Structure 1
Amino acid sequence: MAKLLMIVGAVLFIIGFLMQFIHIGKLPGDIVIKKGNATFYFPIMTSIILSIVLSLIFYFIGKFR
């Protein structure tokens, strides 16, 4: 369990570091509505891409376990 938590922490650290350089939240298909002082942001495409990537990662982790 400890090894799994360390791997998950390392992966989250690397993803967080890379997100500084790659603007994942600005993809075509993401909904941004600005009215006055309020902004509504709904990242549809970002959510779909992250879901696919995480599904593939967990599939390969499960397959080689």
Structure 2
Amino acid sequence: MTEFPKVLMIIGGVLLIIGIFMQFIGKLPGDIVFKKGNTTIFFPIVTCIVISIVLSLVFSFFGRFK
């Protein structure tokens, strides 16, 4: 039971870092934006790829300690 608070703090820290990271990379080159009239459609393709790579590295790092 003593591991649970540590896991929660790690998850919170990771979410904080991801939140800060998202503030700066919200619109990377390669993200697709369609604007027509009052409608805007945003497809964050490159942002999703970057997030996927970062999360894969984080989970791979934490998976090594198991």
TM-score range, shorter chain: 0.7 to 0.9
In the TM superposition, residue 28 of structure 1 has moved relative to its aligned partner by 1.3
SS at match of 2:62: helix
In the TM superposition, residue 39 of structure 1 has moved relative to its aligned partner by 0.4
Q: Any runs of at least 4 consecutive aligned residues in structure 1 with deviations exceeding 4 A, and if so which?
A: none
In the TM superposition, residue 54 of structure 1 has moved relative to its aligned partner by 0.4
> 1:62 maps to which residue?
63
What do the CA deviations read for 1:1-37 (whole angstroms, capped 9, x no partner)? 33212211122123323444x2x12111101000101
Distance 1:3 1:59, change over 3 A: same
Equivalent residue in structure 1 for 2:13, among 10, 17, 23:
10
Name stretches of at least 5 consecutive residues in structure 1 with no aligned partner.
Answer: none
Alpha-carbon distance in 2 for matches of 1:18, 1:44: 16
Tell me the C-alpha RMSD between the 2 structures: 1.6
Q: Which amino acid aligns with 1:12?
A: L
Name stretches of at least 5 consecutive residues in structure 2 with no aligned partner.
Answer: none
In the TM superposition, residue 42 of structure 1 has moved relative to its aligned partner by 0.6
